[in-house]
């Protein structure tokens, strides 16, 4: 794939919540899994990646507590299927800290 353009919170703000656009499993068809991510900054600005159009937006994560912001992440990836349908990124956890 190719990288989209960078999205950033305004100066002095942090990411505080996010959601993913995910395509549900399609059986024998080509699955794409996570296709885009959106995030909210501490001042309320919305950032939205320009991912693929497949899938639907999930729920927003719980927001970071007041005064905290995202400082780490963990991703869930599907291992190579060796001839099967590879999806790549399947989920993301973001971690808050002060």
Does some domain include residue 6?
no
Closest CA to 84 of 34, 36, 35, 27: 27
What would the pLDDT profile of 61-89 be if each residue is shown by its tens digit?
Answer: 999 999 999 999 998 877 777 766 666 77
- pTM listed for this prediction: 0.78
Residue numbers of the domain that contains 84: 15-97
Distances (CA, A) of 93 to 28, 34, 35, 37, 80: 28, 13, 15, 12, 21
CB contact at 8 A, 55 and 21: yes
Cβ atoms of 69 and 40 within 8 Å: the answer is no
Task: Examine residue 4 and state whether it is found in any structural domain, yes or no.
Answer: no
Counted domains in the chain: 1
**CATH code of 19's domain:** 2.100.10.20
Condensed to tens digits (0 to 9), the pLDDT of residues 14-35 reads: 999 999 988 777 666 667 778 8
């Amino acid at each position: 794939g190719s990288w989209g353009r960078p999205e950033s919170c305004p100066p002095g703000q942090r990411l505080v919540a996010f959601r993913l656009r995910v395509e549900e499993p399609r059986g024998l068809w080509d699955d794409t899994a996570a296709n885009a991510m959106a995030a909210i900054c501490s001042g309320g600005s919305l950032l939205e990646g320009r991912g693929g159009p497949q899938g639907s937006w999930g729920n927003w994560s719980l927001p970071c507590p007041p005064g905290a912001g995202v400082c780490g992440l963990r991703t869930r990836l599907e291992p190579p299927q060796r001839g099967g349908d590879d999806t790549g990124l399947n989920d993301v956890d973001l971690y808050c800290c002060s």
